[in-house]
């Protein structure tokens, strides 16, 4: 699942591009309010594209500070059984077991399966282990 945190997002943008995300977002939102959503914002940093051209609408859509970007925030709205995998060596989605623990205490329909010594991709034997757990989950 995707993890998202507003302050971390702002900090990451500042560290990566040396710009204030909230100011860049305010510029984009101002253009949108003026009916100029398609206006290109030159010299703008978006995702992995430094100093690019991007429309105000695209920038605002991607960088809007929205807690729904955090999958953990959305989990309580799901009533069906959910299986989530985490790798102990995952460097992409860090600390998932700790961050999801409060939800797991309340939501009995959500199962977290931690794959030891696995990274984000579950390569080799850990991939097979994950598939076996998926099959067990679906069958039960």
Per-residue pLDDT at 70? 84
Concatenate the DSSP letters of all residues of 50-94 into one string.
Answer: EEEEEEHHHHHHHH---GGGSHHHHGGG--S-EEEEEETT-SSST
The region of weakest confidence among 11-20, 43-52, 72-81, 123-132 is 123-132
Q: Is the pLDDT of residue 78 over 70?
A: yes
Name 87's Cβ contacts closer than 8 Å, sequence gap at least 6: 114, 115, 117, 118, 119, 120, 122, 126
Give this prediction's pTM.
0.69
Q: What's the whole-number mean pLDDT along residues 83-91?
A: 92
Q: Residue 8 and residue 52: Cα distance in Å, rounded?
A: 23
Per-residue pLDDT at 16? 94
5-to-45, 69, 114 alpha-carbon distances in Å: 19, 8, 22
Q: Is the pLDDT of residue 101 over 90?
A: yes
| Contact by Cβ (8 Å): 119, 89 | yes
Per-residue pLDDT at 1? 66
Q: Residue 53 and residue 43: Cα distance in Å, rounded?
A: 6
- Residue spans of the domains in the chain: they are 6-66, 70-139
Per-residue pLDDT at 24? 95
Q: Residue 77 and residue 81: Cα distance in Å, rounded?
A: 12
Per-residue pLDDT at 36? 98
pLDDT, the chain, mean: 91
Q: Residue 2 and residue 74: Cα distance in Å, rounded?
A: 10
Per-residue pLDDT at 123? 81
């Amino acid at each position: 699942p995707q993890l998202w945190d507003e302050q971390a997002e702002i900090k990451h943008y500042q560290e990566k591009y040396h710009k204030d995300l909230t100011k860049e977002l305010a510029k984009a939102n101002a253009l949108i309010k003026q009916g100029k959503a398609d206006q290109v914002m030159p010299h703008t940093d978006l995702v992995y594209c430094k100093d690019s051209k991007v429309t105000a609408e695209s920038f605002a859509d991607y960088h809007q500070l929205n807690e729904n970007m955090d999958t953990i925030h959305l989990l309580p709205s799901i009533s069906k059984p959910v299986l989530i995998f985490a790798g102990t060596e995952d460097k992409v989605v860090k600390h998932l077991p700790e961050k999801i623990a409060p939800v797991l205490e309340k939501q009995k329909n959500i199962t977290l399966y931690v794959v030891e010594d696995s990274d984000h991709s579950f390569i080799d034997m850990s991939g097979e282990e994950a598939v076996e757990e998926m099959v067990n989950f679906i069958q039960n």
